[in-house]
A and B are shown apart, each in its own frame.
Chain A
Amino acid sequence: MSFKTPNTARRTEGWMGLKRGHRARPLEWMIEQLIQFVSYSAIIMVFLIFVFVTREALPILLGQMDSAAVRPSLSMDEAMKLPEADLRKYLNMTQSEFAKADAESIKMLVELRIESSATETTDKDAKLNTTQWSHLLGPYQWSGYTQPEYIWQPVGTIHKYNIVPLLVGSLKVSFIALAFALPLALGAAIYVSQLANPRIKEWLKPAIELLAGLPSVVLGFFAMLVMATFLQNVFGYTTRLNAFLAGIALGLAVIPLVFSIAEDALTSVPRSYTQAALALGSSRWQAAYQIVLPAALPGVFAAAVLGFGRALGETMIVLMTSSASIISWNIFDSARPITASIAAELAEAVFGGHHYRILFMLGALLFTVTFLLNLIGDVVVHRLKRRLEGKA
């Protein structure tokens, strides 16, 4: 038996190697950096998207857009007397365009403007800039209407951009969806995680979660053709495609999400709580309802918040099952959520025009609302958790 170090073994001399840092394992270091970058890139992407959407909406937010169908025209003399900057604004030209144009073409443009004003509409509302905040949010008595109203009607000579009907549409449909989905999803989650015997649970859980894999366009199609007829026959309302139908269809999309998260939260409550409750002589339902559900409350709340976020952001289903943008508290009236409007109208809106910019503004709004919703959800979840753990 010899104790000589074999020739193949390498040995660091002294303590030299102690400060080699990441140079000692370059591959591991690189992989770590790469993964780190990938995870940060998600945040960067979200931030960039937000910046892009907000930038497109900025002229609306800053009140720089003008959607007036008719602008007062000036005579040739008056126009020629204007300072250059004002003339450029009057002709609606960019700085580079204006610099390239010679005096002759400027004159032609001014003449063109005078000519076109002769054929313009005489509607009293045509001079309005409907992209102002007062028109975006407040009611207005349009010509032909008997009272001030909130109207979203982005096409036509006079663009009516009141976003309130869209906000109401989004909230109405989302609340109907949640009112339908939450009880069902939570009930199913409690049943599957606490009451069902393992054999039933084994196929029931994947079956419900399978619903999440259903493409929303298929669900929308089904809702539009099958559910619409069925619900109309049952409830006997007049508008075939309405907020109720959209809400129920949306609810079907929300159920698997809420179910999945809530079921996980309920299952992760230690079995010892249930056992303790049962050993004290509670029924399984009492243990589930009075002990497990409160203990899983943070997770259940998170599920509800995420469900609401999904309902607000879901597009295809509401696009296929909703129509007119009207304000009404009747759930059987039509509704048009923000997302449906954006999806339906963005392709037709003039690039860089006021309609386009307002749709981006709505997008930014949706983004902000869902972000805040998640943030509030997160804060509440943490608070609840701390309280349950006895730290607060």
Chain B
Amino acid sequence: MSDTPTARMADDLVSSSVAPQTQEIIHINDLSLYYGAARALVDISLKIRENVVTAFIGPSGCGKSTLLRCLNRMNDLIDNVRIDGSCEIGGHNIYGSEVDVIELRKRVGMVFQKSNPFPKSIYENIAFALRLHGMTKKSDLDATVERSLRQAALWEEVKDRLHSSGLGLSGGQQQRLCIARAVAIQPEILLMDEPASALDPLATAKIEELVLDLKKDYTIVIVTHNMQQAARVSDYTAFFYLGKLVEFNTTRKVFTNPSHKQTEDYVTGRFG
């Protein structure tokens, strides 16, 4: 191991010593994204593996959230967005003309930075998406709601008040409700856009635990501002700067022995 002080600090942080070599499921090739004339992403090429946690890090405005939103085409909602290059998931270009965006988003779930439960009951928050995708039987719904809440480690806290409003929960609980809602429809990939940035340390710890737990079943891509968080939960880390992918490697490598000066400066807190 490296013997610089920063590297040793990072050594203590990184949890998984070996990054799993699972199959690559997302292939991003030379992807560029423009907001009007401004180029927000510059020729990004990246391969993301199945059933691991990949973290996107970088200073604000570096394009990491934008890239995350490319993966379930949430950028389609913004006007004047143009995308070059391709992004393949499971071998299909998701920007192809015959792609059903609804089907894509069903398979690529998303958790947002700010928890955004619907102004409905906890139960209805989860049942909404299930009904959208054709589940109508009450017993199926009940079972799936319970399973998702258990998966999001929220069941014990809310099982007695499933029919009270989701907005009555605490911030951390709301975010876990959003995760439960996302996993209810069993996506294959789960995108998380700074899921813990608005939460206190205890709630953050719970979310992180959850992320580690969920990677058994889902491929997780997480955007975070928090270096320690990236180091704790992810297997692979991509560092972005000014719309460019500077470095992508195993988290261990990025945090202990980065190959770029910029990366080292960022992960050790010298800028950003």
Contact = CB atoms under 8 A, between A and B. Distances in A.
Interface of A: 197-198, 270, 272-273, 275-283, 286, 290-291, 294-295, 387-391
A387 B110 contact: no
A282 B132 contact: yes
Interface centre among B112, B120, B167 (most CB of A within 10 A): B120
B53 to A, nearest CB: 19
Contacts of B116: 270, 272-273, 275-276
Nearest to B133: A281
A279 B105 contact: yes
A157 B207 CA distance: 85
A280 B178 CA distance: 10
A295 B120 CA distance: 8
B212 interface: no
Interface stretch (B72-80, B243-251, B258-266): B72-80
**Which A-B residue pairs are the 8 nearest by beta carbons?**
A390-B165, A281-B106, A390-B168, A390-B167, A272-B116, A279-B110, A280-B129, A388-B119
B203 to A, nearest CB: 18
B167 A198 contact: no
Nearest to B181: A280
Contacts of B182: 279-280
Given A270-B116, A275-B77, A275-B116, A280 B165 contact: no
Contacts of A278: 74, 77, 105
A390 B114 contact: no
A197 B106 CA distance: 24
Nearest to B130: A280
Contacts of B112: 272, 275-276, 279
Nearest to B105: A281
A280 B114 contact: no
Interface in B222-249: none
Given A275-B77, A280-B132, A281-B129, A388 B105 contact: no
Given A198-B79, A282-B129, A294-B119, A276 B165 contact: no
Contacts of B132: 280-282, 286
Contact of A389 (B102, B167, B178): B167
B21 to A, nearest CB: 30
A276 B175 CA distance: 12
Nearest to A392: B165
B195 interface: no
B128 interface: yes
Contact of B166 (A280, A286, A390, A391): A390
A381 B128 CA distance: 24
A276 B180 CA distance: 13
Given A294-B119, A387-B165, 9 more contacts: A273-B119, A275-B74, A275-B116, A276-B116, A277-B128, A279-B182, A286-B132, A388-B165, A389-B165
Contacts of A390: 119, 164-168
Contacts of B156: none
Interface string B77-101: 1010000000000000000000000
Given A282-B132, A390-B166, A277 B119 contact: no
A237 B119 CA distance: 48
Interface string B174-197: 000010011001000000000000
A294 B77 CA distance: 21
B59 to A, nearest CB: 24
